[in-house]
């Protein structure tokens, strides 16, 4: 503590001695001149003519509640302005320049049009006659609108997808929304009954995937929403077996066919999440008409179509079974 006190006392004495030399006065005077020079430079810069790139906000006023724009109005236009620095600084940092356009003045027959000359006139009025400018984005505004109510139409998914080995598509791709709203003139709406997604192409999928997909645009039509989520359900396959009663067909009247065994085993692949009791049963057919001669001892088997939903690679474990024909005795 004593050493710290001596150190502080030494610094205090050196500070007093430095002040007595007049160096502090010189430093203070230098700082004052620097501040004055900075102020003069700023004033001169603000009075000079400079260029700046500005974003001018577009505001369309008086739009009726029943009106929907097919193509969205631009939020801003980009303008390069040459003017006094003070004026541009105020525009850029203190107040956002805005152009106001009246819907009633510029809208007619389904279109709102602001010509190049009208847009230039509004920009000139905004920045004043002393400024020169150049509109670097669109030099006019053209918007299609409609007062017709929205039409609801279904979404069709355009997909071309395959899975990796041992995987399967467990159902069709699913959209996050089944229907969307479309806006246009009544004549166009009457010709549209559905909308398509952009084509989805995926190969060798191993897991479920959800994609954000755009809807195919239609000229003169606004879609809400214009993008949807599409889920492609992918599941691993599981090998299963089941014993199925054999159905005999085309047996002549007065005869019956007894099979040994009466059941056939079917092996198949199915999505892991699918329960056996959620499927339609298999049908195994033994066709009497397939017998070629009286010497045959086996009859061929086949799986009937269509196969149960969700089943893949179904196979019979045996392609034939033994049989006996029983003929009924005719009564005299």
* Tokens linked to 243: 């014993």
pLDDT tier at 315, thresholds 50, 70, 90: very high
* Residue 46: predicted pLDDT: 44
* Residue 16: predicted pLDDT: 59
> Is the entire prediction scored with pTM above 0.85?
no
pLDDT tier at 43, thresholds 50, 70, 90: very low
Average pLDDT taken over every residue of the chain: 82
How many CA atoms, within 13 angstroms, populate the side-chain half-sphere of residue 99? 27
Q: How many CB atoms lie within 10 A of CB 42?
A: 12
Over residues 298-307, mean pLDDT: 90
What is the distance between the terminal CA atoms of the chain, rounded to a whole angstrom?
Answer: 138
Chain segment 136-180, per-residue pLDDT in tens: 887 889 999 999 999 999 999 999 999 998 888 888 899 999 999
* Tokens linked to 110: 């389904």
Quick check: 220 and 183 in contact, CB under 8 A?
no
Quote the distance between the C-alpha of residue 249 and its chain's center: 53
The DSSP call for residue 91 is: I
For the chain, list the domains and their CATH numbers: 2-43 (no CATH), 48-146 (2.170.120.30), 151-232 (2.170.120.40), 238-327 (2.170.120.30)
Beta bridge partners, 223, equal 182
CA distance 198 to 159: 8
């Amino acid at each position: 503590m004593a050493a710290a006190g001596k150190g502080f006392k030494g610094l205090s004495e050196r500070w007093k001695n430095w002040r007595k030399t007049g160096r502090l006065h010189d430093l203070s005077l230098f700082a004052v001149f620097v501040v004055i020079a900075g102020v003069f430079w700023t004033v001169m810069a603000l009075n000079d003519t400079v260029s700046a790139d500005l974003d001018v906000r577009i505001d369309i006023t008086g739009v009726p509640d029943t009106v929907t724009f097919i193509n969205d109005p631009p939020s801003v236009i980009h303008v390069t302005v040459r003017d006094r620095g003070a004026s541009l600084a105020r525009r850029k940092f203190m107040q956002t320049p805005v152009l106001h356009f009246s819907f009633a003045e510029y809208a007619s027959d389904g279109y709102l049009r602001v010509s190049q000359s009208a847009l230039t006139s509004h920009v000139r009025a905004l920045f004043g006659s002393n400024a020169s400018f150049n509109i670097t984005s669109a030099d006019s505004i053209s918007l299609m609108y409609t007062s017709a109510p929205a039409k609801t139409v279904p979404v069709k998914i355009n997909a071309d997808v395959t899975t990796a080995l041992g995987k399967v598509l467990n159902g069709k791709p699913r959209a996050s929304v089944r229907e969307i709203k479309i806006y246009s003139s009544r004549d166009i709406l009457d010709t549209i009954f559905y909308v398509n997604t952009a084509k989805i192409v995926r190969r060798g999928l191993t897991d479920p995937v959800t994609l954000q997909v755009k809807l195919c645009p239609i000229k003169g039509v606004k879609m809400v929403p214009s993008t949807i989520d599409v889920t492609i359900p992918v599941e691993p396959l599981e090998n299963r077996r089941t014993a199925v009663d054999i159905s005999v067909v085309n047996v002549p009247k007065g005869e019956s066919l007894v099979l040994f065994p009466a059941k056939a085993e079917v092996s198949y692949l199915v999505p892991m999440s699918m329960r056996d009791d959620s499927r339609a049963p298999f049908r195994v057919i033994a066709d009497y008409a397939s017998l070629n001669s009286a010497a045959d001892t086996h009859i061929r088997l086949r799986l009937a179509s269509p196969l149960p939903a969700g089943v893949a690679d179904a196979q019979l474990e045996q392609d034939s079974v033994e049989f006996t024909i029983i003929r009924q005795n005719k009564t005299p």
